[in-house]
Amino acid sequence: MEQTSLITSVPGVTAAITFLVVISLHLSKVRFFRSLGPALIAIIFGMILSNFKITPFSSPVYSYVSGEIIMLGIAVMLLNVDLKGLFKLSKQPLLAMFLAVVSVSVVVVAFSFIFVPIIPDGWKLAGMLVGTYTGGSSNLNAIAIGLNASPDLIAAANAADYAVYPPYIILVMYLASNLRHFKWFAKVWPYKLEEEELLLGKEDDAFLKPKKWSIHDIAWILAIGFAVVAISDFLSTFFPASLASSMGIVILTTISITLAQFKQIKNLKGTMDIGLYLSLFFLARIGLTINVIEFLESALLVALYCGIVMFVTLLLHAFLCRLFKIKYQYVLVAVQSAIGSASSSTVLAAQAGWESLISVAVVLGVLGNTIGNYVGIGIAYLIKGMFSI
């Protein structure tokens, strides 16, 4: 039964999200909250609002925010990409992404010996987890359909995934913003991108800093962003439904980066700021949809399997990347692209101030989403064969 909330109307929920974004940006300047960053604050306060019955756990607004609004945010942030700076990057991001896929697969198989025998159709759940933690929730549901999973298992997997994800993303966002401040980390992991490699060289357009800004800049940025989203959405309809989402992001990325090379676009100020602002709507939406009570009442075994896969993958991936001496910014962007999505890894790079990695995050997220179904289904049948099911 849907809980009764104080605010339920579309305008009311929209206003609540808007104020969550304002609060997250404001509190990120306050000393006590500064280490969290605006992204984590938006998630945490969103959870507070919904679980205290101020806002609902579901609303038509959330679908729009997780669709058009986050796509607009990505398109706008990509208008800041300088290909000359991007070409300076090494092959390490691809290696980091490959190691993330390997880590997810190894962890799921390893813990299948515990969970598969005690969870009905556990081998199907294992494949679904590999898919979702390689390329996103769309892979989870696609694999579920491909494996003919029961509606109960699909519902439990989705609920558990959403329930255990907030602690994970809070941790990863915190690490992205604060690892550079820890002296011990510099000794343990000396491999990093320097400040000049992370920035795109627009000194007069410093990220989230005061700047000379015109309404004309804002108007053009939003107009171009909406146009890019509309065009990419239209062109994606020419692909099969299974590829439409991935191709939509590929097309959006291609158009935005192409436009970003023109002098007139480069001269627009605030693309990163507006992009993060729009992305915070998406993070607030994640927090607003987390029902803590429902999680505690759901299939705890499924949730436990999800949580172990998330956090052990994070540790194993870090261990492997350290062996290969991969720069830690690539490590975090890659693991978030796998376990999260292109959208969330883009937000991670933006809120950490890693301007040059925003387009990298999108590419890695799309790559994970593309191969997720293949890897997930393959692992599922591998586990089925191991247990002779």
Task: Map tokens 């935005």 to a residue.
Answer: 256
Of 37-51, 185-199, 207-221, 231-245, give the lowest mean pLDDT range: 207-221
Query: Three-class SS of residue 261?
Result: coil
- What letter does residue 65 receive in the DSSP assignment? I
Contact between 376 and 123 under an 8 Å Cβ cutoff? The reply is: no
Is it the case that residue 1 has pLDDT exceeding 60?
no
Contact between 130 and 335 under an 8 Å Cβ cutoff? The reply is: no
Burial label, 301 (beta-carbon count in 10 A; 0-12, 13-18, 19+): middle
User: How much is the average pLDDT of 228-235?
Assistant: 93
How far apart (Å, rounded) are the C-alpha atoms in residues 141 and 296?
22
Is it the case that residue 21 has pLDDT exceeding 50?
yes
Question: What pLDDT score does 242 carry?
Answer: 64
Residue 215 identity: I
Is it the case that residue 316 has pLDDT exceeding 90?
yes
Contact between 46 and 286 under an 8 Å Cβ cutoff? The reply is: yes
Of 28-32, 58-62, 322-326, 335-339, give the lowest mean pLDDT range: 28-32
307, 305, 304, 333: which is closest to 318 by C-alpha?
Answer: 333
The CA-based angle 329-77-277, given to 5 degrees, is 95
Question: What pLDDT score does 89 carry?
Answer: 55
User: How much is the average pLDDT of 13-39?
Assistant: 83
295, 292, 283, 340: which is closest to 314 by C-alpha?
Answer: 340
How many residues are there in the chain? 389
Question: What pLDDT score does 200 carry?
Answer: 64
Cα distances from 313 to residues 11, 106, 141, 338, in angstroms, run: 40, 8, 21, 10
200, 182, 202, 201: which is closest to 192 by C-alpha?
Answer: 182
How far apart (Å, rounded) are the C-alpha atoms in residues 361 and 344?
9
Of 57-61, 275-279, 340-344, 358-362, give the lowest mean pLDDT range: 340-344
Is it the case that residue 206 has pLDDT exceeding 70?
no
CA 261 to chain centre: 26
pTM for the whole structure: 0.69
Higher pLDDT pick, 297 / 239 = 239
Q: What is the largest CA-CA distance in the chain?
A: 66
How far apart (Å, rounded) are the C-alpha atoms in residues 40 and 18?
15
The CA-based angle 154-157-162, given to 5 degrees, is 125
User: How much is the average pLDDT of 103-110?
Assistant: 96
- DSSP string of 12-64, one letter each residue: HHHHHHHHHHHHHHHHTTSHHHHTTHHHHHHHHHHHHHHHTTSS-S--HHHHH
At 15, list the tokens: 């206003």
Is it the case that residue 207 has pLDDT exceeding 70?
no
Is it the case that residue 135 has pLDDT exceeding 80?
no
Question: What pLDDT score does 201 carry?
Answer: 57
At 184, list the tokens: 């011990």
How far apart (Å, rounded) are the C-alpha atoms in residues 172 and 348?
8
H/E run at residue 145: helix 137-146
Is it the case that residue 35 has pLDDT exceeding 70?
no
Taking only the tens place, the pLDDT of each residue in 364-380 is: 887 887 788 788 889 99
User: How much is the average pLDDT of 102-129?
Assistant: 94
Taking only the tens place, the pLDDT of each residue in 160-204 is: 787 788 789 889 988 998 898 888 999 999 999 888 778 765 555
Q: Tell me the average pLDDT of the chain.
A: 84
- What letter does residue 4 receive in the DSSP assignment? P
How far apart (Å, rounded) are the C-alpha atoms in residues 71 and 66?
8
